[in-house]
Amino acid sequence: MPVNLEIKVKVENFDLILSNLKKVKAKKAGLLHQKDVYFSTPKGLLKLRKEGKNQQLIRYQRNEKGKNRWSNFEILELHQAHAESFLKNLWDCEVVVEKVRLLYLHENTRIHLDKVKKLGSFIELETKVLTTKKEAQQQFLFLLKALQLDPKEELRLSYHDLLLQTGKK
């Protein structure tokens, strides 16, 4: 099962971050319009991600209380147009997250500049473990510093949890 190290920070605007992304030569990978439909499951989180004509079922588990935010995840590509209605017949829908994501890539890190409907603007880093967790953590810490992100401002919640907490589902 793939593993990555993550952080999420709420931001007022992306100007400084965009400037710092240029300095580290991060590659702009696209503007994504995503709809994540979260389903009730007894363990971890399960969401259907809809992005244009593409759909993925993503299951992940993350320790929100540990020192670092390591996440185990699995992705299943879906090719049926009616996946959402099919899955809603299997599980209750807890919340729907709609966002516009500006995606950047730097080595093995995905950098998400997200504008989330009902929640605001956020930056997320997801550094995938390619060889060792130690190596991934070094890459992660380099980007934290380069992008001038303060780990003390980290939100240890998914957008799913934030929407449920605020009652804006």
pLDDT at 169: 64
Of 4, 29, 19, 1, the residue nearest 101 (C-alpha):
29
Of 122, 125, 120, the residue nearest 105 (C-alpha):
125
User: Can you give the residue range of the structural domain that contains 79?
Assistant: 3-166
**pTM of this prediction?**
0.89
The pLDDT tens digits for 2-51 are: 889 999 999 999 999 999 999 999 999 999 999 999 999 888 899 999 99
The pLDDT tens digits for 83-96 are: 999 999 999 999 99
The pLDDT tens digits for 126-148 are: 999 999 999 999 999 999 999 99
Domain count, the chain: 1
CATH code of residue 133: 2.40.320.10
